[in-house]
Structure 1
C-alpha cells in the first residue's frame, strides 16, 4: 500500500501539492491519501487559563478550517482520503505523523525562496528535508518576488562586508 501524507494549511502552495498528488497518485487504488494539519502548541503559561478540552476543541476547529479547501477538492475529485491534525513543531510533527501512519512519502507545497530566506525563517520544508527518513517530494509554487530574490542577498552581502571591515579594523 502506497500511503501519501500531504500537509495542508489552507495556502495555495498546499493546494498545489494536493493537486499534484491527486494527479500522480490519486487514481491508483493501492494509494491512500492522508491530509494533515499542524496546530501550534499552546504554551503552558497561556494554557493554564483554559481547560485541556477547550484547547483541543479550538485546535480541532482551526485544523478543520485549514483543511476545508483540500477536503473539498479531494471530495470533488472523487478521491478517498483521511484527515488528522497534530500539534507541535511543524516539521517534527509531520515526520512523526507520517511514521505513525506508515507513509511511503510526504508531498509538501512550498514557496520558492532563496537560501538566506529559508535560513532566517522557520521553514517546514527545510526541516522535513533535514530530519525525515521518509522521502519528501517538494512541489514549488510561484516565483519569489524580486525584492526577496535580489534584496536579501545584497543586504546579507553588505552585512558580511561590514562585519569583515569591523573585524579587520
Structure 2
C-alpha cells in the first residue's frame, strides 16, 4: 500500500494537488491518504498574554477550517483519509510528518510564478524538496496574481537600478 501526504492550506492551489490524488486513487484504490495542515506559531508577545490551551484551541479551529474543503472532496469521492494538524515551521512539520507516517510520497501544489519570484522567495515547496528524502510530486496550481507576475519583478528591477545608480 502506498502512503501519500498532502499538505493542505485551504487555498485554490492546494486543491489542485488534492484533486490529483483523487484521480490517482481511482487508479490505485489501495492508496493511503494523509492530509496535513500546519499552523504558524504565535509570536512570543502573543504567548505572553494567552494560555497554551487557548492558543492550541485557536490553531485547531483554524486547521479545521482550512481542511474543510479537502475533507468534503475526499468524503464525497469516498476516499478514506487521515487528517493531521501541527503547529510550527511548515516545511519542517511536513518533512517530519512524512517521515513519521512512513509516506512514500508528498504531493504538493504550488502557484504558478515567474522564475524571478521563485528565485526571490523561499517557498515552502522548495524547502520541503530540499529537506526530505521522500519523493515530492509538485502539481501546478493557480496562476500567479498580477502583483507576482508584474509587481515583484518590477520592484526587483527598480531596486537593482537604484543600487546601480548608488554605486555610480
TM over 0.5, yes or no? yes
After TM superposition, give the deviation of residue 143 of structure 1 in Å.
Answer: 2.7
Contact kept in structure 2, 1:26 and 1:33, CA below 8 Å: no
TM-score by length of 1: 0.88
3-state SS of the aligned residue for 2:142? Answer: coil
The within-5 A match list for 1:53-72 is 53-72=53-72
3-state SS of the aligned residue for 2:112? Answer: coil
Deviations 1:31-71 (A, max 9, x none): 10000100111223311322222211111111111100100
The within-5 A match list for 1:80-119 is 80-119=80-119
3-state SS of the aligned residue for 2:148? Answer: helix
3-state SS of the aligned residue for 1:64? Answer: helix
How many aligned positions are there?
168
Change (3 A) 1:84 1:146: closer
3-state SS of the aligned residue for 1:15? Answer: helix
Corresponding residue for residue 38 of structure 1: 38
After TM superposition, give the deviation of residue 160 of structure 1 in Å.
Answer: 2.4
Counterpart CA distance in 1 for 2:46 and 2:59 is 14
After TM superposition, give the deviation of residue 158 of structure 1 in Å.
Answer: 4.0
Tell me, which stretches of 5 or more residues in structure 1 are unaligned? none
Corresponding residue for residue 123 of structure 1: 123
After TM superposition, give the deviation of residue 151 of structure 1 in Å.
Answer: 4.5
3-state SS of the aligned residue for 1:141? Answer: strand
Q: Which moved more, 1:73-82 or 1:108-117?
A: 108-117
TM-score by length of 2: 0.88
Corresponding residue for residue 49 of structure 2: 49
Contact kept in structure 1, 2:4 and 2:105, CA below 8 Å: yes
Contact kept in structure 1, 2:4 and 2:32, CA below 8 Å: yes
After TM superposition, give the deviation of residue 30 of structure 1 in Å.
Answer: 2.7
Counterpart CA distance in 2 for 1:127 and 1:81 is 25
Change (3 A) 1:61 1:147: closer
Deviations 1:60-105 (A, max 9, x none): 1111111001001000000000001011111111111111111111
Change (3 A) 1:50 1:135: same
